[in-house]
A and B are shown apart, each in its own frame.
Chain A
Amino acid sequence: MEGQVISLLMSNVESIPGKTVVNSLGLVTGSTVRAKHIGKDIFAGLKNIVGGELKAYTELLNESRNEALQRMMMDAHARGANGIVNVRFATSNVAAGASELFCYGTAVVVE
């Protein structure tokens, strides 16, 4: 399953607009913990001289969040779902230099 890209219908409302939910398959989750390598850390430190957006971190967070979503979709796919509703995101600092990105939702079958 690893490396395979799955695409499911997702939404953060109670249903998938335009479709009807026929079956609920329970909670699905996906998470990832990431840290940046020290080189990019130094560059981000240099960017801190002027402030504003820290692109290295934005990029890292985006790709990690996509990975978390992918894991959640794999979880849902394994249960035979074709959609996930009420998707939520959570971010937490697990250690200095690392962040956990977590997402969860309800796997459903839609028509």
Chain B
Amino acid sequence: MSALVSILVYSIIGIAVSLVFPFTSWALGRWYQDSIMSTLREEEKVIVNTYGFDNKASVTTSNKMSQVGAEYSTLLHVSLCVGPSMGQIFFMWVKSIFGGRLHSYDVVLDYGRREALLRLRKQAAQFGCTSLINIRIETSVISFAKTDKSKQASVEFLAFATGIR
């Protein structure tokens, strides 16, 4: 009887200990990503107020209309590599048993794209460009890690455009 109880106790302790790391990582990741997301929102406001990059000044078209009056042009490119935290990957694996919306990936991918666009605009401002034309955003899964385990953990965003003034 006591053997059964001790097996039960040890297995509960084992499960609890093995969940400590994923849970800590998940909580830390959640907190960290919320903080970088709020910083990003602030910076987006600042860059729009300072340089006037609104949706009219940055387009995905490349027709002649958008190039009227341009004197200078340059190719701008920004790449950014992001990944969710290990805990989030673990809980996503649990969640994917039932399917549905994977919130952690939503947040991370949204952050990566917006940050890439923000950096592109900052770079444009450095070159004195007043508008961006033919903006393209590409997404690719990269695996620099030597193990296959973290393969799905990193996503690269590449944003490129022609800046004109």
Q: Which residues of A does B touch, CB under 8 Å?
A: 9-19, 35-36, 38, 41, 44-45, 48-54, 57-58, 60-62, 65, 87, 89, 91-93, 96-99
- Determine the residue in chain B with the shortest Cβ distance to A10: B75
Which of chain B's residues have a CB closer than 8 A to the CB of A16? 73
A66–B105 Cα gap in the complex (Å)?
Answer: 29
A48–B25 Cα gap in the complex (Å)?
Answer: 9
- The answer to whether B81 touches A58, judged by C-beta atoms less than 8 angstroms apart, is yes
Which of B36, B74, B75, B144 meets A60, CB within 8 Å? B144
The number of residues on chain B lying at the interface, defined by a beta carbon within 8 Å of a beta carbon of chain A, is: 54
Consensus secondary structure, chain B interface: mixed
A15–B33 Cα gap in the complex (Å)?
Answer: 40
Q: What are 8 A-to-B residue pairs whose CB atoms are below 8 Å?
A: A13-B62, A18-B73, A49-B28, A49-B85, A49-B87, A57-B154, A91-B140, A93-B142
Consensus secondary structure, chain A interface: mixed
Q: Interface-forming stretch among B46-54, B93-101, B145-153?
A: B145-153
- The answer to whether B142 touches A52, judged by C-beta atoms less than 8 angstroms apart, is no
Q: Does B117 contact A (CB under 8 A)?
A: no
A87–B71 Cα gap in the complex (Å)?
Answer: 19
